[in-house]
Each structure stands twice: as C-alpha cells, then as structure tokens.
C-alpha cells in the first residue's frame, strides 16, 4: 500500500507557543527597564538584547518553515516549527544556545542551524532557493526595524541606554544577515545556490557542510578577516544611520559583567 498522505496543518500547529510568549514578555519588561534606566540597567540591557536576539532567531527559523509550508512541505506544522517555539527546532543547540553564547562572548550575531525541511516534497529550484533565503531575510527585516528610529531621526528624547541597546541589536542582525548569506556549505547562502549546482558538485561539497559554520567562526578570529568583516558591518549600519558610537556603547552596556564607565548622554 502507498504511504498515507500527511495530515494538513492544524490550527494547533500554528498557535504561538507559551515559551515564545514568555521570552517576548521578559524582553518587553527588560526593554521597559532599559528605557526607565533602572539601577541594574546593564542587566536590563543584557536581558533585553538577549531576549530580542532569541526572538529574531525564532523568526529566522519560522521564515524558513513558513516558506517551506507554502512550497509544499506541510510536515513543518506537525514538527512544531510554526509555533515559534525554540525548543522544537531540530538543532536547538545550533539554533539557539550557540548563537546566544557567541553574542555574549564576542558580540557577533552568528547564524544557527536551520529547521529540518523535507526537500523531497518541494518542486522547483526557485522554491528551494527561497526557502533558504527566507531565514536571513528575516534578519534583514529585523535589522531595518531596529535601525528605523536612527535613519528616521526619531530618537529625540529617547533615553541613551535604550538607544545604545537598539544600536547593538541592529549590529547583531546585520552580522547575522551577512554571515548567513555567505555561499559557504552549511549556511543559507549556499542553500540559495545549491539547487542551481550540478549533482556532481553538490555531492563533492556535501561532506563539508557540517563544518562550514565552524570554519566561518574560525576565520573571524583572523585579525585581517575580522577587520574587513566589521568594516563591512559598520558601513551597512552607517547607511542605516547607526553609528559606531551607538554600537560601541551598546556592547559595553550589554557586557555589564566587565564593568562600564559612565555612559555618555549621546
């Protein structure tokens, strides 16, 4: 007998998870604390930026899954990918834990592992490319939203703590988008190109996919590569109205455990 067709996506498979709502609530409360300048403002910045970063990671994976759903892979619903629950991801360590750890240690928005898409259900190279591109495009949109108050000149009267935190969050989104779009095996940029490569090339590259992310991370420790990368990041942020001053103090506030000098007013 032929295998039964997968069940259609149920409303429960699309319902936003309590885990995501809890993360959003913590982020909102921490954001209020940053805006109000509470005594432990460094901790508030840390919670606000980390919470918002996790939210962006969830949206990144959701964008992959949602695009896959509309491209023919209805299995993403049963896997919980449409609920924005970070605990449902196939590679929770790669998708959430490591990216957050890299932000804490180095202030880099390193991309995480993608959700598991059943590619055999999807027809057409353009659809495969769009599924891979959807995740980093979510980071692009998030970066534009974070930077909007800067390039719109809407920061008059905004507390400096909140301004700097928003600038640092924009930096994380830009770094994530750039890194994700690199045509390196294992990253989304390669996923965009892969459907257009010959079968022979895909087979040759496949063994290197698990190490692509680690290779990128290792290269970022090379001083020349690091300077070139952050030069590009600063150029993009400058085009969005976010200055190096904003991102510098945002990072200083975020890493509150290192101690922070008196924060300038702007």
- CB burial of residue 172 (10 Å; 0-12, 13-18, 19+): buried
**Residue 213, pLDDT score:** 80
Looking at the predicted structure, is the pLDDT value of residue 112 above 70? no
For the entire predicted model, the pTM comes to: 0.90
Rounded mean pLDDT of 228-233? 95
Query: Does residue 130 carry a pLDDT above 70?
Result: yes
Angle between helices 223-239 and 244-254 (to 10 degrees): 110
Q: Is 94 helix (H, G, I), strand (E, B) or coil?
A: helix
φ, ψ of residue 154 to 5 degrees: the values are -105, 30
pLDDT tens digits for 16-40?
Answer: 999 999 999 999 999 999 999 998 9
Enzyme catalytic residues: 61
* Residue 183 near residue 193 (C-beta atoms within 8 A): yes
CA–CA distance from 202 to each of 112, 130, 197, 209, 258 (Å)?
22, 18, 6, 10, 45
Rounded percentage of the chain residues whose pLDDT exceeds 90? 65
Largest CA distance in the chain: 72
Question: Which ranges constitute the DSSP H helices of the chain?
Answer: 11-14, 18-36, 41-71, 75-78, 92, 98-106, 125-151, 160-180, 188-193, 199-205, 212-219, 223-239, 244-254
Closest CA to 18 of 83, 97, 90, 91: 83
Quick one: tokens of 166?
């928003």
Note the pLDDT of residue 98.
74
CB-based contacts of 186, cutoff 8 Å, min separation 6: 208, 209, 210, 211, 212, 213
Angstrom distance (rounded) from CA 200 to CA 187: 19
pLDDT at 72: 92
Q: What is the mean pLDDT of residues 163-175?
A: 96
Across the range 85-114, mean pLDDT stands at 73
pLDDT at 13 over 80: no
Share of the chain above pLDDT 70, in %: 89
């Amino acid at each position: 007998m032929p295998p039964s067709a997968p069940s259609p996506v149920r409303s429960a498979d699309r319902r936003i998870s309590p885990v995501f709502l809890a993360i959003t609530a913590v982020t909102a409360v921490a954001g209020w604390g940053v805006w109000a300048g509470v005594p432990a403002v460094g901790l508030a910045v840390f919670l606000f930026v980390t919470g918002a970063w996790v939210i962006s990671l969830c949206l990144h994976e959701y964008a992959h899954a949602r695009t896959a759903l509309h491209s023919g892979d209805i299995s993403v619903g049963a896997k919980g990918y449409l609920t924005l629950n970070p605990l449902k991801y196939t590679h929770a360590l790669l998708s959430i834990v490591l990216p957050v750890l890299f932000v804490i240690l180095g202030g880099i928005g390193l991309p995480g592992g993608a959700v598991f898409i059943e590619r055999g259900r999807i027809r057409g190279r353009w659809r495969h490319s769009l599924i891979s591109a959807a995740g980093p495009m979510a980071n692009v949109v998030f970066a534009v939203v974070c930077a909007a108050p800067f390039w719109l000149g809407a920061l008059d009267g905004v507390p400096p703590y909140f301004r700097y935190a928003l600038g640092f969050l924009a930096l994380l989104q830009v770094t994530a988008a750039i890194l994700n779009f690199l045509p390196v095996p294992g990253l989304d940029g390669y996923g965009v190109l892969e459907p257009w490569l010959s079968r022979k090339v895909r087979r040759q590259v496949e063994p290197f996919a698990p190490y692509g992310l680690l290779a990128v991370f290792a290269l970022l420790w090379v001083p020349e590569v690091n300077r070139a990368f952050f030069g590009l990041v600063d150029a993009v942020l400058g085009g969005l109205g976010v200055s190096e001053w904003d991102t510098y103090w945002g990072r200083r506030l975020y890493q509150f455990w290192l101690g922070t000098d008196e924060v300038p007013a702007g």
